[in-house]
Chains A and B, each alone.
Chain A
Amino acid sequence: MCLAIPGQLIDAPEENPHYATVEVSGVRRKVNLGLLQEQGVKAGDWVLIHVGFAMSKISEEQAQEQLRLLAMLGEAMQARQEVEGYQFDET
């Protein structure tokens, strides 16, 4: 559960500053942005996701490396399942 999942922010948080849509391997879900208040993320940025929260802003290159790492670890499917499992939307 320590292996963070890389994803790209699809929309800029407008109405609700706490949430944005993220895309991970074609799956789109909401994630919480509370941990990145200071970093000022915007649409198009890449982030590491952990239990429904974007926890670090990373570069696109790092995101690709992280995806590759998850694939090598045999965890890519599980990561996708986790993101698919997020049901909270803008709770």
Chain B
Amino acid sequence: MKYVDEFRDPVLIEQTAAEIRRLAHPDRIYRIMEVCGGHTFAIYRFGLHDLLPANIELVHGPGCPVCVLPMGRIDDGMAIAEDPAVIMAAFGDMMRVPGQMGSPLERKARGMDVRMVYSPLDALKLAGENPDRQVVFFAIGFETTAPSTAFTVLRARALGVRNFTVFSNHVLVMPAIQAILDAPDMRLDGFIGPGHVSAVIGCRPYELVAQDYGKPVVVSGFEPVDLLQSIAMVLRQLNEGRAEVQNQYKRVVPWEGNPAALRALEEVFAVRPEFEWRGLGAIAQSALKLQADFAQWDAETRFAVSGLRVTDPKAAQCGDVLKGALKPRQCQVFGRECTPERPIGALMVSSEGSCAAYYEHVYLRQVAEG
């Protein structure tokens, strides 16, 4: 364990790891999905998988917003940005995601007006500074980020800003979990629930997973101790034949979520009938668009969006990795054609994507060690 000395409480970590080893029955395999990309990143960065017995398999879930965005949506966004009147504003994570005609960063290098912002409010400010241009915010993210977009739209309305629109690609975590649970090759035993998504939606939505599917869900923090404790909590439930929702991250996640955030989501957004996810296909009621009342701030109303469906690159097996059917390294292009420097699939783009995290923290080390 490379990093154990820097941890806040190495003794507690060792105790929790020992408890996990005690709880894991050697005659069975435990497959636990961590839904959130931030958890995936932390697990690899801290080398937590090295602390777990071999029969506990952590499966990396779909909770990286950049990674699940299908190529067609990038191309649709870039098609909007081809209009010389448009300034496209996007988070840094988005800039390197490959579209059919290149990533936003590459398009920017070829003259397209794409600006990186750190907040949707920065995109709104750009609109104020450029009254003769149309500023489009390329919105991505789960329920963690969607309330910020909602507040920004409410702010645009309050300030009467007319040259600002949102290209919404916000997605919902529960429909994705359900799609994974409904997949015929599903072999998961339990879930580590996302931390900051749950700070918004609370813990109650996961009761469906526990009650209807019989799988434990433990909402977890991001520290090594948090993640190990959450894994132990899932194991204890499985061993005792329980399936419940538990909250390990009480210091940030209220059981009922954040009411102000939920109200803003409700006011500004409507659920789409279906939305395409990279690797998972179309999932019913899994994404948000702007309510009809906010049509004038909706990029899909203001601009013609063709709704492109682009098949994911065949060579990259992102879908199988997202569903946990393949480990990153088992993909045929991993580390060869597809690397963080030249990503083919989106899982290699974001540091929270399971392939990039695995590449950075496991693969390169193994290569270096021969």
Query: Chain A: residues with CB nearer than 8 A to chain B?
Result: 1-4, 18, 32, 34-38, 48, 50-53, 55-56, 58-59, 62, 65, 68-69, 72-74, 82-83, 85-89, 91
Contact = CB atoms under 8 A, between A and B. Distances in A.
Interface residues of B, number: 51
Contacts of A2: 36-38, 63, 144, 194-197, 352
Nearest to A74: B45
A2 B220 CA distance: 13
4 closest pairs, A vs B, by CB? A52-B119, A2-B38, A85-B118, A88-B121
B119 A55 contact: no
A88 B148 contact: no
B122 interface: yes
Chief secondary structure at chain B's binding surface: helix
Nearest to B6: A72
Most buried by B among A18, A48, A50, A89: A50
A55 B141 contact: no
30 contacts: A1-B38, A1-B93, A2-B36, A2-B63, A2-B194, A2-B197, A3-B41, A4-B196, A32-B121, A34-B264, A38-B260, A50-B144, A50-B145, A51-B118, A51-B141, A51-B145, A52-B118, A52-B122, A53-B147, A53-B151, A55-B200, A72-B7, A74-B45, A86-B121, A86-B122, A87-B122, A88-B121, A91-B121, A91-B128, A91-B159
Nearest to B194: A2
Interface stretch (B21-29, B251-259, B307-315): B251-259
Contacts of A35: 147-148, 151, 258, 260-261, 264
